[in-house]
């Protein structure tokens, strides 16, 4: 079953979907899916499009409660992208799904994986993080400040141009996420790092660098022949389900 609600995060109103399974519920386990940052023309409306379906599938197969929210400026959520705002959004989602002594894990895709690590590193509620195609080196991933800001505008994750940070400020705000520092702080809590070997947007070497920063305390899964878009790859789904099953 997939429930839809809206959640306030500062000036933004976020779309949140929560999937549950009546077939094989597992008490006290919650997974939050985190989408990435779209960079292509008009993709802001579609960036999280597959995640509600994935949430339902994962909930039915694992018995976990699985939540996915569209962060500020994406999909039907209002607001404008910044790394700081997206961190605030994710914390609001965590507070919404937290009920009593629930064990919360995050699974992030692309930049969403880096974001998940940054938020989880300083939040004891999060017991595990899985990343897929997450960049370890955000300076290279962003590129120069002005083109990066233009890509955010073109993608359509800007509710009001007046709220979009200036180029250097926007880029520096993203760089402050620091995935390598975050994963080092998060360890030794449980970690899964997944990556496609043919990813041309984020090199597979970034996955190895994340595992190295965690001092080897992370499972590394390289998906042969896979590119950057892993959300619909059945091998990624099987990898994630196996990880969930091992951490009941």
3-state secondary structure the chain: CEEEEEEEECCEEEEEEEECCCCCCCCCEEEEEECCCCCCCCHHHCCCCCHHHHHHHHHHHHCCEEEEEECCCCCCCCCCCCHHHHHHHHHHHHHHHCCCCCEEEEEEECHHHHHHHHHHHCCCCEEEEEEECCCCCHHHHHCCHHHHHHHHHHHCCCCCHHHCCCHHHHHHHHHCCCHHHHHHHHCCCEEEEEEECCCCCCCCHHHHHHHHHCCCCCEEEEECCCCCCCCCCHHHHHHHHHHHHHCC
Q: What is the mean pLDDT of residues 189-202?
A: 94
- State the pLDDT confidence band at 248, using cuts at 50, 70 and 90: low
Work out how many domains the chain is built from and give that number.
1
Q: What is the mean pLDDT of residues 161-187?
A: 97
**What is the CATH number for 169?**
3.40.50.1820
What pLDDT does 27 receive? 65
What pLDDT does 41 receive? 74
Q: How far is CA 14 from CA 181, 184, 211, in A?
A: 28, 30, 32
pTM, entire model? 0.95
What pLDDT does 203 receive? 95
Across the chain, mean pLDDT equals: 92
Q: Which domain holds residue 221?
A: 2-246
């Amino acid at each position: 079953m997939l429930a839809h609600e809206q959640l306030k995060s500062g000036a933004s109103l976020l779309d949140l979907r929560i999937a549950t399974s009546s077939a094989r519920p597992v008490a006290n386990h919650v997974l939050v899916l985190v989408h990435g940052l779209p960079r292509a023309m008009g993709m802001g409306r579609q960036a999280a499009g597959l995640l509600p379906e994935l949430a339902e599938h994962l909930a039915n197969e694992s018995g976990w409660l699985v939540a996915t929210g569209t962060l500020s400026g994406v999909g039907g959520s209002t607001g404008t992208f910044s790394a700081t705002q997206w961190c605030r959004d994710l914390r609001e989602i965590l507070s919404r799904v937290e009920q009593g002594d629930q064990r919360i894990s995050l699974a992030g895709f692309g930049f969403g994986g880096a974001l998940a690590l940054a938020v989880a590193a300083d939040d004891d509620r999060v017991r595990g993080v899985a990343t897929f195609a997450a960049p370890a080196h955000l300076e290279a991933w962003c590129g120069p400040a002005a083109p990066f800001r233009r890509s955010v505008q073109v993608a359509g994750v800007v509710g009001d141009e007046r709220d979009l940070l200036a180029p250097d400020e926007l880029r520096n705000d993203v760089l402050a996420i620091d995935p390598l520092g975050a994963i080092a702080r998060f360890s030794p809590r449980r970690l899964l790092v997944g990556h496609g070997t043919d990813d041309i947007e984020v090199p597979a070497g970034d996955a190895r660098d994340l595992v190295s920063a965690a001092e080897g305390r992370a499972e590394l899964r390289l998906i042969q022949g896979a590119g950057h878009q892993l959300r619909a790859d059945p091998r990624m789904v099987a990898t994630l389900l196996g990880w969930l099953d091992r951490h009941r």
